[in-house]
Amino acid sequence: MKIAILGAGYVGLTTGTCLAELGHDVTCVDLDEARIAKLNGGEVPIFEPGLEEMLRNHVGAAHLRFTTSIASGVDGADAVFIAVGTPSLPDGDIDLSFVEEAARSIARLVKPNCVIVVKSTVVVGTCKALREIIAEERGALDFSIASNPEFLREGSAVSDFLSPDRVVFGSDDPRARALLEKIYQPLADKGTPILCTTNANAELIKYSANAFLALKIGFINDVANLCEQVGGDVNAVAAGIGLDKRIGSSFLAAGPGYGGSCFPKDTRAFAAIGRKHGTPQSLIENLIASNDARPQALADRVLRELGGDPHAVTIAVLGLAFKANTDDVRESPSLAVINRLLKAGCTVRAHDPKAMQAAAPHISGAELCDDAFAAVAGADAVIVLTEWDEYRQMNVADVVRAMRGRLLVDYRNLWNVANIADLDVHYVSIGRAPAP
Ligand code: NAD
């Protein structure tokens, strides 16, 4: 199958590489010349475990190409996947302009019978609107449109794509359904459930799934707040409720709140589409408000614990990415915490194994350290904000010895409370009482 992918970001590049792995002939198109030049020079512009090696294999075997030319990229393609960004507008609604522009740009270039597949996360009704845009541009074209939302997680994108819990696609057109079945046949052969439904259902499934997962995170953070007041341990509570198969244990790690390129914008878009259709999503509206307020509350807690003049204080922040195993800092709670501390007058030294370059423009005023211990040395407080294994494996006694002050704030509950009990340090974590 000849496939073109518009957008070579986290999703487009992973989709393109994995579709080549499934045996298809793939061209990834991106308007960002620097990105394509890097890819053509053998460099992968994002950090995603396992991607680089797989990508190189398929580039080497000429099954995977990169170009900035939409015309040559989509030429002769049986399917064109749209995987461009869908950011938030200032009012929280979704900005569909990149998706619409992508659809417009291919309308005159695709071959007849081509299937246009919307991989970007879009609100219900988008496929229908794109059909009209393409028809406006090229009325006589016989084409199909389908929705194929992506559920991969950054940090495990390749394995999520190749071993997903399910593949969902939606189209009101049998030709599109048949083509998508063929594209994903290798996954179906491995036993992956394939859910084929309507355009509208597929679009709704993606938003509902992300809203639900974000709710689990928001819920466990509320439970953690309660635990702190009543002497509970949120880890024990999460383990206890997660064993219930109806609930499941994933997305029950208390922490600084959800961030990243998906949950914040997707919950906002879900709330906005609810308002637009007179069906307010009150659970999600409340979730957004409490998640937005959380980084500031966590930063203020550090300032309270430290007391005194923030201008005299040096704080080490470990972790900038919105979660471990990615270099993505979009809407990372860590950036919001750091900016709050900088605004209060603190000196902030920050470290992240992969995300320092991406974070630098968003935390001007913070000093970036190449090594976690360089950030920690002489600090009055240390705050852990991303759950990197590198931090989990640090010897906490060494961290405490390197510090000047005595405040250790573990907002990812990485460290074992019992191991810290004997150290001369004030240990603050999420929803867990200090060891007696
Ligand atoms: P991204 O910002 O990493 O990549 C988007 C790419 O599209 C950019 O490189 C940009 O230059 C390119 N682009 C924009 N307009 C273009 C056009 N007209 N033609 C060709 N290229 C164009 O975004 P992403 O994180 O890959 O997300 C893409 C979509 O997938 C979004 O809708 C997102 O919500 C969804 N999604 C993301 C994830 C994730 O974990 N990142 C997971 C599931 C779904």
Which CATH superfamily hosts domain 2-197?
NAD(P)-binding Rossmann-like Domain (3.40.50.720)
Helix 282-306, helix 263-276: angle, nearest 10: 140
Is 204's pLDDT higher than 90? yes
Q: What are the boundaries of each domain within the chain? A: 2-197, 230-429
Question: pLDDT (tens digit, 9 = 90+) per residue, 145-170?
Answer: 999 999 999 999 999 999 999 999 99
Strands in 367-368's sheet, in edge-to-edge order, are 367-368, 347-351, 314-318, 381-384, 407-410, 426-429
Mean pLDDT of 189-206: 97
Mean pLDDT of 181-207: 97
User: Hey, which bits of 58-178 come out as E strands?
Assistant: 64-67, 79-82, 115-118, 144-147, 167-170
pTM greater than 0.90: yes
CA of 28 to the centre of ligand 1 (A): 12
pLDDT band with cut points at 50, 70 and 90 for residue 436? low
Whether 2-197 shares its CATH topology with 230-429 is answered: yes
Taking CB atoms within 8 Å and a gap of at least 24, the contacts of 260-264 are: 260/154, 260/322, 260/323, 260/328, 260/330, 260/331, 260/332, 261/10, 261/85, 261/154, 261/328, 261/330, 261/331, 262/121, 262/210, 263/210, 263/213, 263/214, 263/217, 264/88, 264/288, 264/291, 264/331
Give pLDDT, residue 119: 98
Residue of minimum CA distance from atom 22 in ligand 1 = 7
Domain 230-429, CATH among 3.30.40.230, 3.40.50.720, 1.10.600.10, 3.30.365.10: 3.40.50.720
Give pLDDT, residue 138: 85
Atom of ligand 1 nearest to the CA of 11: 26
Query: Residues with Cβ within 6 A of ligand 1?
Result: 6-12, 29-32, 35, 83-86, 98, 101-102, 105, 120-121, 150, 152, 154, 261-262
Quickly count helices (H) and strands (E) in the chain: 19, 14
Catalytic residues: 262
Known binding residue 251? Answer is yes
Question: pLDDT (tens digit, 9 = 90+) per residue, 98-114?
Answer: 999 999 999 999 999 99
